[in-house]
Structure 1
């Protein structure tokens, strides 16, 4: 957890900094207010790194009140699957915040235990989101801190754009910290997005995303 806190501070100073995936579409607030026992979201990402083959990754989230359950595929590494449980804390009016500490494990091409946090803060039309985790690879490799963060702005309710950064090993190569821009468009329960890391470089990575909340 100390590593996640340090990374959050570094990301704020840099303007943004993930392990591999952006934040998910928020569950429908009206459904929560009406007393719906569970909310769900699912997002798929088509990853297009310039120096390696394209691949699909995904995140599925189920929440009930403060309980947070999450499953990921091809996040920490290609051909890996991970699962988490967490507890959400939120509050604020003018400044709104949400934080979810999580613990879990990953299996497949990478094995290990994971501890992390997903957190966001929003003020008026601006917001900041960070997703960080520390993977203990159980003797296979040294532990590693993955992170993804976004600094966003909503000029209108259905459009969000801004800066994005991530720290990951999933693409290989020597560049672990990557920066770029993004935009998202939301129509009802669906959110589509485009992320562009290292624009114009040989390490360029483009990601298309499509998510739904229900």
Structure 2
């Protein structure tokens, strides 16, 4: 989560869908095929002094292949699509890195290059997503979007941490926004709340809801 939403997908969806991917992976191994997973997440963005809007993300993993599409993410009234390849490994300390390339159209139009990466150790995990959007229509609109999370899981169903984002999807006097977040997971559904710039006039609340298959 890049864009006005809390980036995402690999952070909210990858962490939220871990159990679902494991189940699908076992089924795929028995069938002799690659691991497959599908997840969709919606984010309700609520700037304190701005217009509310919803961002949508749908992603699929087929083995190491990553496919993803986003709506209202890099900008409002914009749609983007990506393809990437995942490299993962580790035992006590696990890692995952997915270089992605794509295209965005709408209010912002042009090619995108980026990276989604994560580290996990015991009950701690760190996720970062960063992308560069080259706007072919307005050069000054070209921009680096970023989203990262540092989290702790006191229980399998609860994830708490700190999120940081850099976005231009809405107007803000803060180039870098920070704040706490909490996520709860029940079976294949994950809900979360992010609170950026708490106790300031530039507060932004993001409410997320995701499902994995």
Q: Same fold (TM over 0.5)?
A: yes
Asked whether 1:176 is paired with 2:169, we answer: no
Counterpart in 1 of 2:84? Answer: 86
Deviations 1:74-124 (A, max 9, x none): 111111100000000100110000110000010011111100000000000
CA–CA separation in structure 1 for the residues paired with 2:202 and 2:139 = 24
- 1:139 is displaced (CA, Å) by 4.3
- The count of aligned residue pairs is 198
The CA deviation at 1:58 is 0.9
Say whether the 8 Å CA contact 2:2–2:73 is kept in structure 1: no
Structure 2 distance, partners of 1:159, 1:24, is: 12
Unmatched segments (≥5 aa) in structure 1: 1-16
The equivalent of 1:211 in structure 2 is: 210
C-alpha displacement of 1:201: 1.1
Match of 1:140 in 2: 138
Cα separation, 2, equivalents of 1:152 and 1:202: 26
Summarize the alignment of residues 1-214 of structure 1 with structure 2, pairs less than 5 Å apart.
Answer: 18-19=2-3, 20-21=5-6, 22=8, 23-26=11-14, 27=17, 28=20, 29-35=22-28, 38-142=36-140, 143-214=142-213
With normalisation by structure 1, the TM-score equals 0.89
CA drift of 1:212 comes to 0.4
Residue 25 of structure 1 deviates from its aligned partner by: 2.0
Deviations 1:161-194 (A, max 9, x none): 0100000111113322100000000000000000
Question: For structure 1, which segment, 73-82 or 24-33, has the greater mean C-alpha deviation from structure 2 after superposition?
Answer: 24-33
Aligned-residue Cα RMSD (Å) equals: 1.4
3-state SS in 1 of match to 2:174: coil
Aligned residue for 2:12, secondary structure, equals: coil
Question: Displaced runs of 4+ in structure 1, greater than 6 A?
Answer: none
Output the CA distance in 2 between the equivalents of 1:64 and 1:179: 33
Gaps of at least 5 residues in structure 2 are: none
Moved more, 183-192 or 131-140: 131-140
Would you say the 8 A contact 2:79–2:105 is kept in 1? Answer: yes
